[in-house]
Structures are given as C-alpha cells and as structure tokens.
Amino acid sequence: MNNKTSSGNFLEDFRLDQEIRHATPRTVGWGDVALYTALYGSRFPVFSGDSFSRKLGLKRAPVEDLLAFHIVFGKTVPDISLNAVANLGYAECRWMAPVYPGDTLHAVSRVIGIKENSNRKTGVVYVRSQGYKDGDELVLDYVRWVMVKKRNESTPLVAERVPQPASAVRPEQLRVPAGIDFSKYDYEMAGSPHAWEDYAVGEKIDHMDGSTIEEAEHQMATRLYQNTAKVHFDQHRQGQERLGRRLVYGGHVISLVRSLSFNGLGNATFVAAINGGRHINPTVAGDTIYAWSEVTDKAEIPGRKDVGALRIRTLALKNHPADGFPDKNSEGNYPDNAVLSLDYWVLMPRR
C-alpha cells in the first residue's frame, strides 16, 4: 500500500530528453464549441459556420485554435506545472492542422532544458509540448518554460541545459490549413471589410469593447480544459494566500482578448503562431478586460497569393479602456493594470 495521490513533479524529477506522454485523451465535441462561444463570444467566421468554412474548402467549421491549445496545455499541467512557481514563457508555438469536432486530442512533452536557480530551492524546466489528434497527426507544437520547486534543496542536479527558443516563428514556418482557398473568402459574411493589404506595420487598433470576468466563467473554462492547477478553483485556500483570490487561468484571458480583437482584426482568420506571451499581472473575477493591438510585422506566405500573415502585439488591460494605447514606459515597465502582452502571427485573406 503506497500513497495514491499525486503531488506532481518537482525539479529533480525531470530528466533531460525525457518524454512524457500526458494522460487523458480528450474528444473535442460540439459541446466544447458551444461552451467556447458562450465563454468568449467569438465571431471569427471560420469557426462559427459550417457553410462559411466549406466555401473555403474545409470539410466543416474547425474548433477555435485557442480551444485546441487550452486542451493540449491542460493535459500537460499535472506532469509539468503542478508545482510551478511561475509560468516564465512560451515560444515557437505553431498550429499545424485544424481540429474538428469528433477529433480526440492527446499531448506529449519532451524535456529540452533544466536549470537550477542559484537559491537551490527552485529551477526552470523547459519542455517542447506537442498535441496530436487521432492517427497521430500533429496539431500543435510549442516550447514552454516554468519555474518549478525543488523537492529537496540538497539534491544535486545531474545535468543542466538551457535552450534558446527562437524569438519569433518565421513566416515560412506558418502552416496554412490544407485545402483552404482564401480567394473564396466572403468579407460581407465575415463582418469585416479589411484584408491583409489594408494593414500597415506600426498601425495600432483599440479593440474598444470590455468584458468582465465572473468566477463561474473562468472556473468552467479552466475545467473544460481539464486544467487542474489548484490556484483557479479553491477560494478557501487562496483566501489565505497573498492574492487572496482565485487566479484566473492566463489562457482564459488570452481567449477573451482574441475575441475582443475581432473588432479591428475581424479577418484575422487563424492564429497561426504565438511568438511569446507574458502574464504581466494577475487577473481575478470582477476584472474587466480591454485590449489594443499593434501590427508589428507583415509577411507573405511562400507560394500563396490568397493569404498573408500579420504579426500582432496585443496588450490587455484590466479595468482601464485601451484608448490612448497605454504601453510600457521608457524604463520598460508596463502600466499597473496591464495583464497580458501577447506576440503572435495571424493569417488574413488577401484581395
């Protein structure tokens, strides 16, 4: 008879090049699609209507890119980040193929780096996580690094390695879903007239609308993703911590911001890659989220005249509208109410 409960992995439990097959394959269904809509109100048309997607050459409406991300990410939590002190970064995140209702997702991670901190109480583990659907088709690929507690300060670490994730995904690495033809894109049905050509590098967009987060919403979202991180669900224990409140899953804020971004980036059809992201300040229920974006780069997709890529930096704020584009000051410090900075590539139809 041994202890049956899992308390997750600590820094010394990880080995370089270790491969972790994460638990709980998850069939994504029509219910997830509806809940995602109810939680974020997304209107990106490719994910909303089968007819719109079929006209472009897809078999039906796939599920939102970020829903697939959250489900894959959730699978990694029990193995990678149950003892995380902080989520330090994401990089090289690419969507490789659309996920459709009925597909079953599973996730695998490889440990690509380990580094002990000088305090010897914590360290950083770097993983490359991959999401697959039935038949082992790769759908998502990203690098993530988290600060993790050590089980025991005196345990010596056998090996260390610090990888250098790319600062950005290169345009030629972006994957356009197979079979899609953006020349068939119906701008009127999409609800936004602006194409890739209409955006200029340096252009800033205030997404205008605000959305207030409720406890029931972020809890339901986070459980939908089978994300088990304790800080999101347990007010009794969180009430005794410094924040005093349940912490909203950072991915919930990302999805909310993506939906808000429809106003101004309505034809940013797919999120193709995330170059990096930072959760600047914690978000709790009751906070109202606003966001603005800047176009930081434009790129052609090799061999395609129907679709291009925009690189976007989005800054999300809590309880403060985004007009005036509040940003880092000259010392590089974000405003107190900044909650998220996200650097990502979207695919957008060309005329």
61 to 120, contacts with its own copies by CB under 8 A? Answer: 61, 78, 101-102, 104, 106
Query: What whole-number distance in Å separates Cα of residue 139 and Cα of residue 96?
Result: 5
CB of 171 to its own copies, least distance (A): 21
Considering only residues 13, 116, 181, 209, which one is a binding residue for its own copies as defined by CB under 8 A? 209
Q: How far is the CB of 165 from its own copies (least distance, A)?
A: 27
Q: What is the CB neighbour count within 10 angstroms for residue 110?
A: 15
The 8-class DSSP code of residue 153 comes to T
Binding part of the chain for its own copies, among 11-19, 21-29, 151-159, 247-255 by CB under 8 A, reads: 21-29
Under rule CB under 8 A, which residues in 270-309 are in contact with its own copies? 286, 288, 290
**Hey, which residues between 135 and 174 contact its own copies (CB under 8 A)?**
none
Q: Which of residues 23-62 bind its own copies (CB under 8 A)?
A: 23-27, 29-35, 37-43, 45, 48-52, 60-61
Stretch that binds its own copies, among 117-125, 168-176, 231-239, 276-284 (CB under 8 A): 231-239
Q: Are 87 and 154 in contact (CB under 8 A)?
A: no
- 240 lines the binding site for its own copies (CB under 8 A): no
Between the alpha carbon of residue 139 and those of residues 50, 55, 58, the distances in Å are: 20, 22, 16
Out of 115, 194, 278, 304, point to the residue binding its own copies (CB under 8 A). Answer: 194
Secondary structure, 3-state, 12-64: HHCCCCCEEECCCCEECCHHHHHHHHHHHCCCCHHHHCHHHHHHHCCCCCCCC
In the block, which residue shows the tokens 């999805």?
A: 255
Note whether 252 binds its own copies by CB under 8 A.
no
Contact between residue 272 and residue 347 where contact means Cβ atoms under 8 Å apart: yes
Q: How far is the CB of 114 from its own copies (least distance, A)?
A: 22
Piece in contact with its own copies (CB under 8 A), picked from 22-30, 137-145, 146-154, 176-184: 22-30
Query: Angle CA(140)–CA(142)–CA(145) in degrees, nearest 5?
Result: 150
Which residues touch 21 (CB under 8 Å, ≥6 apart)? Answer: 106, 108
**3-class DSSP state of 176:** coil
Contact in structure between 94 and 169 (CB atoms under 8 Å): yes
Q: Which of 153, 234, 241, 336 binds its own copies (CB under 8 A)?
A: 234
C-beta of 166 vs 325, nearer to its own copies: 325
Size of the residue set binding its own copies (CB under 8 A): 88
Least separation in angstroms between CB 287 and its own copies: 8
